[in-house]
Amino acid sequence: MSLMQQLNEKAQRLGIPLSAHLDITYRCNERCEHCYLEHDDKGEMTTAEIRGVLDQLADAGVFFLIISGGEPLLRRDCFDILAYGRSLLFNVKLKTNAVLIREAEARRLKALGVEQVQISVYSYRPEVHDGITKLPGSLRRTLSAVRFLKSQGLKVTLANVLMRQNMFDAAGTQALAAELGVSYTLDPTITPMMDGHTGILSMRAPREMLREVFRDPNYVGNVEEFCAPPPSADDEVLEGTPCSAGHTAIYITPYADVYPCVQFPLPSGNLRRQKFIDIWRDSPELNEVRSIRAHDLPTCSSCTHLSNCTRCPGLAFMEGNMRGPSTADCEKAFVRTGIPTANMVAKARTGGSAGRRPAVSGLVQIRA
């Protein structure tokens, strides 16, 4: 068992939020086609409010802090927030498109001791990346920032989201990361808008492309396991929790709303009205999320993929039922193995309507 697994298990036993993801703004200088956020400012927390939130997170036991957005560097106090987080001894990771990072900013991030900078890059080709971001010259500026950050010795990861617009560019983008001497991640999931609208899901890469990605050992490890049947679920799996959301991890919006995860927009409290520790311990919504075990999932508990499924309860919630299947994860499980999931079998029997609920809308209530 890795050290991180041990930390997570101990944190879950003790009820400690080990990590927090804090978006300090939803404003952005890019307009990415697949983005799930609304970019208007609906009443962001002030610097003082964010400092207060960070104090509360530190008191609650948070160690890993992700600062993101939107584009966090659009806030003039972004470096002040990072500095305050480091003064509280958080392990800080910054997520950014890096368009606003030049040599001076890279030096400041190094001096602050930011652990890692994750940068969104969607293609090695400017016409594809800039076409997705809707910001001419964005790839050039982002890659310049990567070089500045590397020159300061910072850890950098290029994060790519696979979609129809860039589905033939994954290998080239990974090669670009290797050339730059940085890490690379590929996420094959497009998520619904945080308000529940699902129009952007049409950008998801088709099954044929997912199949190629999962066959590639550069992404999935041992290619020989591609068609291996999933192992049967045992008692330990059936008693397991879906993921860390609400268990050892938490998400906070720029408007002080608390959710289990950035992909799980279940309103669970607001830090302008409640203390973080009270929300963490007493929120009915968080406690409901924590109560769910794999054997409680009506469809998924009987699925042959249960023991190795990447099912996201947040995506399931966005489809209408946090205890239901996540269609995107069912698709990935099928593509990896060639074996239909229980949800796919049920839909085939009922003409595609099994367990279906209307997509959730109006999930996010912006509170000034």
CA dist., res. 255 & res. 232, Å (int): 43
User: What is the chain's percent helix, strand, coil content, to nearest 5?
Assistant: 45, 10, 45
Over residues 56-83, the mean pLDDT reads 98
pLDDT score recorded for residue 231: 55
Full-prediction pTM beyond 0.85? yes
| Model pLDDT for residues 150-204, shown as the tens digit of each residue | 999 999 999 999 999 999 999 999 999 999 999 999 998 899 998 888 999 999 9
Q: Tokens representing 4?
A: 């991180």
DSSP states along 247-292: TTEEEE-TTSBEESBTTB-----BTTTS-HHHHHHH-HHHHHHHH-
| Model pLDDT for residues 116-134, shown as the tens digit of each residue | 999 999 999 999 999 999 9
- Angle made by CA atoms 181, 186, 187, in degrees to the nearest 5: 150
CA dist., res. 237 & res. 355, Å (int): 23
| Model pLDDT for residues 230-251, shown as the tens digit of each residue | 555 566 777 888 789 999 999 9
